[in-house]
Chains A and B, each alone.
Chain A
Amino acid sequence: MNFLRVSKIVFGSVAVFFLLAPLFAILPLAFTNSAFLNYPIPGYSTRWFEELLTAEVWRRSIINSLIIGCGTTLLATVLGTLGALGLRGTQLSPVFSFIKTVFLLPMVVPAVVLGVGMQLMFARYGLANSYLGVIIAHTVVGVPFVVVNVLTVLQGSDRRLEQAAASLGAAPYVVLGKITLPLALPGIVSGAVFAFATSLDEVVLTLFVAGPNQRTLARQMFSTIRENISPAIAAAAFLFIVGTTLIAIALNLSVRVSQRGSRQ
Chain B
Amino acid sequence: MSVLFRKQMVSLALVAPLLLFLIVFFAFPLFTMMKSAVSDPVATQALPASTNALSDWDRSSSPTSEMSAAFVEDLRQINDDQLFGDLVRRLNSAKAGFRTLITKTRTAVKATAGPIDLTAVDKRWADNSYWQVIAIATSSTITDRNLLAAVDLERNSSGAIDTIPAGASANRTILIRTFTMALAVTAACILIGFPFAMIAASVEGWRRQLLLGAVLLPLWTSLLVRTAAWFILLQDTGLINSTLMFLGLTTEPVSLIFNRVGVVIAMTHVLLPFMVLPIFSVLVGIPKTLMPAAASLGAHPVRAFLAVLLPLALRGVISGSLLVFMSALGYYITPALIGGAKDQMISSVIAYYATGAANWGMAGALGLVLLVATLLLYVVYLRLSAERELKP
Contact = CB atoms under 8 A, between A and B. Distances in A.
Q: Do chains A and B directly touch (beta carbons under 8 Å) in the complex?
A: yes
A10 to B, nearest CB: 10
A153 interface: no
B85 interface: no
A210 to B, nearest CB: 12
A121 B218 CA distance: 34
Interface residues of B, number: 79
A226 B258 CA distance: 11
B364 interface: yes
A113 B18 contact: no
A20 B374 contact: no
Contact of B19 (A83, A93, A110, A111): A83
B350 A38 contact: no
Nearest to A147: B18
Contacts of B202: 8
Interface in B1-26: 8, 10-19, 21-22, 25-26
A interface, by DSSP: helix, strand, loop or mixed? helix
Interface stretch (A42-50, A84-92, A157-165): A84-92
Given A11-B196, A11-B199, A38 B237 contact: yes
B217 interface: yes
B211 interface: yes
Contacts of B228: 26, 221, 225, 233-234, 237
Interface stretch (A51-59, A95-103, A181-189, A249-257): A95-103
A172 B330 CA distance: 44
A241 B221 contact: yes
A16 B220 contact: no
B26 A82 contact: no
Interface stretch (B28-36, B101-109, B156-164): B28-36
Interface in B211-247: 211, 214-215, 217-218, 220-233, 235, 237-239, 242
B22 A102 contact: yes
Contacts of B374: 108-110, 113
Interface of B: 8, 10-19, 21-22, 25-34, 36, 192, 195-196, 199, 202, 207, 210-211, 214-215, 217-218, 220-233, 235, 237-239, 242, 269, 272, 326, 329-330, 332-333, 336-337, 347, 350-351, 354-355, 360, 363-364, 367, 370-371, 374-375, 378, 382
Q: Which 9 A/B pairs are nearest by Cβ-Cβ distance?
A: A110-B330, A86-B14, A117-B29, A117-B33, A86-B15, A83-B18, A22-B229, A112-B347, A26-B229
